[in-house]
Amino acid sequence: MVTFMRNLALALIIIGAINWGLIGFFKYDLVSSIFGGTFAIISRIVFAIVGIAGLYAISFFFRNRTTTQS
């Protein structure tokens, strides 16, 4: 379950990073274009979920990083 949550959070963060990259380079907001404007409720939900994933990803810095040798 932890691996699923970590992968989901990383996927959402990548979506957010791509969206911010498009905004920064081309002034194009992909999420708003797909879901109907910056203030549309679905766009706001997507932005909120990506934000929560980013907050969750902060915990990655504080997890134990154990490696195994084969």
Which one, of 60, 43, 44, lies nearest residue 8 by Cα? Answer: 60
- Rounded Cα distance between 45 and 36, Å, is 12
Phi-psi sector, 4: left (phi>0), alpha (psi -120 to 50), beta: alpha
> pLDDT tens digits, residue range 42-55?
988 999 999 999 99
Contacts of 57 (CB under 8 A, 6+ apart): 9, 10, 13
Domain ranges of the chain: 2-62
- How far, CA to CA in Å, does 7 sit from each of 44, 47, 58? 22, 18, 14
> pLDDT tens digits, residue range 30-45?
999 998 887 889 988 9
Q: Is the pTM of this model over 0.85?
A: no
State the average pLDDT for the chain. Answer: 88
